[in-house]
Amino acid sequence: MKIVLPGGSGQVGTVLRRALTAAGHQVVVLSRRPAGAGEIAWDGRTPGPWTEEIDGSDVVVNLAGRSVSCRYTPANLEAMMASRVESARVVGEAIAGSARPPRLWLQMSTATVYAHRFDAANDEATGVIGGSEPDVPDYWGYSVDIATAWEGEQEKADTPHTRKVALRSAMVMSPDRGGVFDVLLMLARLGLGGPVAGGAQYVSWIHDRDFVRAVDFLVARDDLSGPVNLAAPAPLPQRAFMRDLRGAWGVPVGLPATRWMAELGAFALRSDTELLLKSRRVVPGRLLEAGFVFDHPQWPQAAADLVRRVRSR
């Protein structure tokens, strides 16, 4: 297949591109700074010669969006929203304008669309969309607004010959340098991998190989469209998540951090505490119902596999 990855130069794109190329597919990455073979220029906002890559392709997986790991200043929040909404819109326009449209458009979304909660897991059918939780900072609602606006662009797009799926993905854990697993492992190795603000908040995650397998599964299953959660079936509280990660590497202790210490740490890392404190309890209802089987359903084993791959990196 010919598979086009707008925004495919980042962490998730690297994981997908590596796997899809190894499987023999032709992969084209759309980037604002194309750097080599298989990368084509676009600006993420306006049509251009890049649309010829979409016309005649088989699958588009749009991953473009300003990183959310940043300080939530008004300018950064605006860029987080605009880069997602505008790129989804222009990808939709390119598909709509194609003489030979792709048969599938996978649009990245996020598990963060669901409410901060502890009591029950969010699947696609019964999950609660976030934004009106009573006991969280108001600005957390903005991440939900981004996710719903992002998905809204895909829903609105008039692409009758193209199946559309929104990937409500949890954190994709891969052994690559600079990825989210790398950062968490570094904190654990520094002795900082303890519970944050009590550690009861849930962490949802997906092993990189299951992420790729889920994408393959969605490509193959013509009957699936709309939002699909990409998360391992066993999210767990942050304190257990970090304990298992420490265990996988062999770090005996992890200092606990209070909420204000997390604020300081997030500031130092130029990030935001929402990423640490929001309880993301998300499960893959539709994937399981459709018969998808996870290779890495449980975190301790997944973490051990990732650590092994980091060590052989």
62 part of the interface to ligand NAP, by CB under 6 A: no
11 is an interface residue for ligand NAP by CB under 6 A: yes
Task: Report phi then psi at 4, rounded to 5.
Answer: -105, 130
Candidate residues 57, 87, 238, 271; the one interacting with ligand NAP per rule CB under 6 A: 87
Residue holding tokens 């603000």?
Answer: 197
CB of 43 to ligand NAP, least distance (A): 7
Please state the three-class secondary structure of 53-105 as a single string. Answer: HHCCCCEEEECCCCCCCCCCCHHHHHHHHHHHHHHHHHHHHHHHCCCCCCCEE
Which residue stretch of 168-176, 213-221, 250-258, 286-294 sits at the interface with ligand NAP (rule: CB under 6 A)? Answer: 168-176
Rounded to whole angstroms, how far apart are CA atoms 122 and 164?
A: 21
Judged by CB under 6 A, which of 107, 110, 204, 273 binds ligand NAP?
A: 110
Which long-range CB contacts under 8 A does 152-155 form with residues at least 24 apart?
A: 153/85, 153/88, 153/89, 153/92, 153/107, 154/88, 154/92, 154/105, 154/107
Q: Verify binding: residue 65, ligand NAP, rule CB under 6 A.
A: yes
Binding residues for ligand NAP, rule CB under 6 A, total 25
Range 170-209, binding ligand NAP (CB under 6 A): 171-172, 180
Considering only residues 239 to 268 of the shown chain, the ones binding ligand NAP according to CB under 6 A are none
- Which of 4, 5, 9, 19 binds ligand NAP (CB under 6 A)? It is 9
Span from 2-10, 121-129, 187-195, 296-304 in contact with ligand NAP (CB under 6 A) = 2-10
Among 23, 26, 32, 222, binds ligand NAP (CB under 6 A): 32
Whether the Cβ atoms of residue 53 and residue 30 lie closer than 8 Å to each other: yes
Report the residue closest to ligand NAP, judged by CB.
10
**CB 33 → ligand NAP: shortest distance, Å?**
5
Quick check: 63 binds ligand NAP (CB under 6 A)?
A: yes
Q: Which is nearer to ligand NAP, 79 or 240 (CB)?
A: 79
Kindly list the residues in this chain that would bind ligand NAP in the complex (CB under 6 A).
7, 9-13, 31-33, 44, 63-68, 79, 83, 87, 108, 110, 169, 171-172, 180
